[in-house]
Copies of this chain bind each other. A is one copy, B any other.
């Protein structure tokens, strides 16, 4: 078990100085061809690679970016990571991940752990708890220390940084308009409580679409789920709620849900009540997850282009890292990724 070889060892072995070795390997004009060849051959033989940590310390940059997300076992987030990793690698960066598990304190701890030199910048999506507490000090502190942040999906105007978001509003509006054009007269919305910014925007899109078609919104058609519960553990409760929605609105003929699970459950309930999808009820979900594609009937969804979000976030961050940022003219951009309506079998 031989350790990795260092410049010092090469220098000692070849009886030259460390500086000479370093220069020879970087093909400096200061070094004679003879010496260069000798050193390079030796280095190749022993498979020399500069030590990243030493370089990081010297250069005061790690070429590593940190991702903090609520959870990784989630199609949307893993797609985003995939996108980030793609461009990060292309541009010579590594990716280090931290999971907040939707917890504020874990988010803070994770950020502190990484902010002490391990990474050059953050790409993150806030935890639900952070959104609820509205405590953003850790983001702002990180930024005043000169570490850039790019936020995606779950953002908040109180934090001034680059952002990549989905046009939730228009995506929702497009979906609901589609339902209306397809003849739906009574369209339900299944959404989350309002503290998740994303849910709020989608709700607004739903309302706006109705308004544009002179369809007055009805409170009893809007179901707000309390997402503080982990839904995987409460599927039955959720299903009951949705069933209630159907039963108290017998004329229901369209459902727009702000995520895949809600949409799938709506289809399940419909089937259970003897309704056919899409002939009796049409359903549209949000998120281009794997469930929608393989459901029966397959689910029409608003696609968020998660991978593209990740790619864009990485571009923004690395651009900022590599610009000789003139601390003064800090100008932040918000990139909006447009959604697409992917039509499948759950709509006519």
Contact = CB atoms under 8 A, between A and B. Distances in A.
Given A72-B85, A73-B79, A113-B94, A4 B118 contact: no
A14 interface: no
Contact of A62 (B47, B53, B295, B296): B53
A301 B290 CA distance: 18
Nearest to A327: B1
Interface string A53-66: 11011000010100
Nearest to A143: B1
A288 to B, nearest CB: 11
A51 interface: yes
B82 A78 contact: no
A145 B295 CA distance: 48
Interface residues of A, number: 54
Contacts of A79: 73
A99 B85 contact: yes
A4 B145 contact: yes
A117 interface: yes
Interface of A: 1-4, 47, 49-54, 56-57, 62, 64, 71-75, 78-79, 81-82, 85, 89, 94-99, 110, 112-118, 141, 144-146, 261, 264, 268, 271, 290-291, 294-296, 327
Contacts of A115: 49
B118 A52 contact: yes
A141 B1 CA distance: 10
B53 A57 contact: yes
Contacts of A81: 72, 97
17 contacts: A3-B145, A51-B117, A52-B117, A53-B117, A71-B82, A73-B75, A73-B79, A74-B78, A89-B98, A94-B96, A95-B98, A96-B96, A97-B97, A291-B291, A291-B294, A294-B295, A296-B296
Contacts of A89: 98-99, 110
Given A50-B116, A97-B97, A291-B290, A78 B85 contact: no
Given A53-B53, A145-B2, A99 B82 contact: yes
Contacts of A75: 73, 290
A273 to B, nearest CB: 14
Contacts of A99: 82, 85, 89
Contacts of A117: 4, 51-54
A261 B291 CA distance: 11
B97 A95 contact: yes
Contacts of A327: 1
A118 B146 contact: no
Contact of A295 (B49, B57, B114, B296): B296
A95 B94 contact: no
Nearest to A4: B145
Given A73-B75, A98-B94, A145-B1, A116 B295 contact: no
